[in-house]
Amino acid sequence: MFHYDNFKLTLFCTAQNMMRVTEEQLQKQLEFYRRYVGCDKVYIEPYRDGETIPEEQLALVIKFFKDNGIEVSGALTTTCNNLTDGDKDKYRMSGTYCYVNKEMRAHLVKTVEYTARHFDEFILDDWFFTMCTCDECRAAKGSRSWEEFRLDLMAEVSENLIIKPAKAVNPNVKVIVKYPNWSEAYQESGYNPAVQRNIFDKIYTGTETRDTAKNDQHLPRYMSYSLVRLMENYAPGRNGGTWFDPYGCNPIEIFAEQAYLSALARGRELTMFNWGDLYRNRVVTPLGLQLAQIDEFLSKAGTPVGTPTYLPPDAQGEDHLEDFLGMAGIPLELVPDFPKDAKSLLLTVQAHKDAGIVAKLTDYVKNGGRAIVTSGFITEALKNGDGIEELTSIRYRGRRFRTNLFRGGGIGGGGDARSAHAVTFPLLEHRNNTTWTLAKAVVGEENYPILFSDHYGKGELITLVVPDEYGLIYGLPEVTLNAFREQFVGDVPYSLTGPGQTSIFAYDNDTFSVYSYIGGLAGGGYGIRVDGRADSIENLTNGMKLFPAPSGMFGGGDVTNFSFFMLSPGDLNFYKINWNEQRHAPKAEFQAMSAPH
């Protein structure tokens, strides 16, 4: 019987964890996990870093878990250490294989066969990549780029050194490839989800974001949610689960955040790495309570939704910008294919990996779509001469500006607001009354737009000017963040109001969760701006209902405004929107409300 209704709680057992452990020790360790967080499944690896668990010990471990009602699968970490004297001449991070070398290829096949003999399912740890530049690799690469060579190489290795040997030994075996958290760099090291999703039986998602400011991988914590959704869209129904660890998680709540976001993204399994390091570790003890609350919410929630964000396979540029926007309170759904039927979409520089992206964008907007593009996307299109001038009068002449003063759009612009830090932006020029300004930054007696609107055909193009310093995005003033968020109302018919460093996780049955990140603001007042007529917002934890603010219908538009809650970092918050029977005002009534008084 599983501990949770919406996901399995899974633990990864390294070869070193299980090499010499006794049944008595295992029983004591299992009792700890069951008491505090649960244990539905384990992944046991018989080999890692040159060490192999003997068959007798491996059989003992497998039997122990099965006898205790724990589901058992295998695992394999593709590392080896100094197989030959020639190995010393190869620089390979943490002992990763040189996949050109014959002896290493043979060694990999041997470990794959050993694993497949003992398990009907096994997962590859995320060391299944190459960065070797030895003589053999350079000769095999030839005139190709490292990206081209490694993508081809690892697809071949996946097929010939993993899948074929595994299924030859055990025709029933299912093999899972785990993708690491550094998704912007996959292609440089051979990870190839667009191809490998058709080679492996399942894929898996690494959600280890850790402490962003200290970690050298530069991964915003929203990625623990967004990457799960991207991988689900690569292989619908075959994204087996998520994987996170406690390393570099200070304060300890950052470890828990990985679990929260992995669960909210509807990860099928939450795998904690690893059994030995987490045993009697204080990061584990509070987790069961929080996961139980999330599990209860997920039983009421639908399928995750957000503005589709097109990230073509093997793309780079504006790395993880979408995740910083997610931490600014914008719900996103990452997709590897152009979402031509979406109500709205987001394009960053990465979309230019698709050579036909501007033509697709033009058709999308012309036919009534609402596209939000970043300043990086626009400047890249202008540089490439792709015809973006058809949609907008925006031009980039190479100038930049820096400020901490902001205001709204229009002639008046509303009141001024300041960010705690000065922020640097590209200065985009535009022609008055062809392109309109929705939000501005102020420098001296001049103001520069940071949010533009262009109408084209039946649709609209929104240009979001992005700061050079992505980590300052969610520190922009509320007036600016709210203007940004309002542009993303489409697939999600509401937007967050309030400070940044807070995410909203939306589902297709009008349920949502709001989470403020550890290390962010000390707390703050938030609200929801609903596109349409809502009667109330229900707190799904305590059943209390929140009603529209006195100015709930404002600005002459069909909008309901809720200004209602305080958030503290680390708190879990779950809500549902209850709609008015007449969700949107009839056109005549809308016009009457919009008329000046």
**Cα separations in angstroms, 411 against 81, 352, 415:** 67, 34, 12
**Token digits of residue 271:** 């795998």
**Alpha helices (runs of H) in 5-145, residue ranges in sequence order:** 15-18, 23-36, 55-67, 102-118, 135-141
Range(s) for CATH 3.40.50.880 in the chain? Answer: 302-474
Model confidence over 118-175: pLDDT tens digits?
A: 999 999 999 999 999 999 999 999 999 999 999 999 999 999 999 999 999 999 999 9
Higher pLDDT among residues 420 and 115, named by residue? 115
Confidence band for 85, pLDDT divided at 50, 70 and 90: low
- CATH no. for 302-474: 3.40.50.880
Condensed to tens digits (0 to 9), the pLDDT of residues 192-204 reads 999 999 999 999 9
Mean pLDDT of 259-278: 98
CA distance 538 to 576: 5
pLDDT for position 587: 53
Element (H, E) at 6: none
- 595 alpha carbon, distance to own chain's centre: 43
pLDDT confidence of residue 364: 98
Within 13 Å and on the Cβ side, how many CA atoms surround 475? Answer: 17
Rounded alpha-carbon distances, angstroms, from residue 532 to 236, 344, 473, 552: 31, 17, 28, 10
User: Per-residue pLDDT for 590 more than 50?
Assistant: no
- Within 8 A by CB and 6+ apart from 564, the residues are 526, 527, 528, 537, 546, 549
Average pLDDT over residues 570-587: 85
Select, from the ranges 81-95, 336-350, 579-593, the one with the highest average predicted confidence (pLDDT): 336-350
Q: Model confidence at 411, in pLDDT bands (50, 70, 90)?
A: low
Instruction: Give me the helix-helix angle, 102-118 and 55-67, nearest 10°.
Output: 40
d(CA 353, CA 386): 13
Task: Tell me whether the omega of the peptide bond preceding residue 433 falls within 30 degrees of 0, making it cis.
Answer: no
CATH 3.20.20.80 positions along the chain are 8-299
510-597 has which CATH code? 2.60.40
553 — pLDDT class (breaks 50, 70, 90): very low
* 322-341 pLDDT per residue, tens: 999 999 999 999 999 999 99
How does the average pLDDT of the chain come out, rounded?
92
Task: Show the beta-strand stretches assigned E in 129-180.
Answer: 174-179
Q: Can you give the pLDDT at residue 566?
A: 79
Give which of 487, 494, 433 is closest to 460, Cα–Cα: 487
For the ranges 83-97, 228-242, 437-451, which has the lowest average pLDDT?
83-97
pLDDT of the residue at 20: 95
Which of the pair, 48 or 518, is modelled with greater confidence?
A: 48
How far apart are the C-alpha atoms of 534 and 583, rounded to whole Å?
A: 7
Cα gap 527→523, rounded to integer Å: 13
The pLDDT confidence band at residue 248, using thresholds 50, 70 and 90, is confident
What is residue 596's predicted lDDT score, i.e. its pLDDT? 35
456-471 residue pLDDT tens? 999 999 999 999 999 9
Is pLDDT of 214 > 90? no
160-181 confidence digits (pLDDT tens): 999 999 999 999 999 999 999 9
pLDDT tens-place string over residues 16-73 = 999 999 999 999 999 999 999 999 999 999 999 889 999 999 999 999 999 999 999 9
Closest CA to 448 of 467, 470, 473, 472: 467
Please give the Cα distance from 233 to 152 (Å, whole number).
23
> How many Å apart are CA 428 and CA 395, to the nearest integer?
6
CA 234 to chain centre: 13
Please state the rounded mean pLDDT for residues 506-513. 98
Is residue 222 pLDDT above 90, yes or no? yes
The CATH architecture annotation of domain 8-299 reads Alpha-Beta Barrel (3.20)
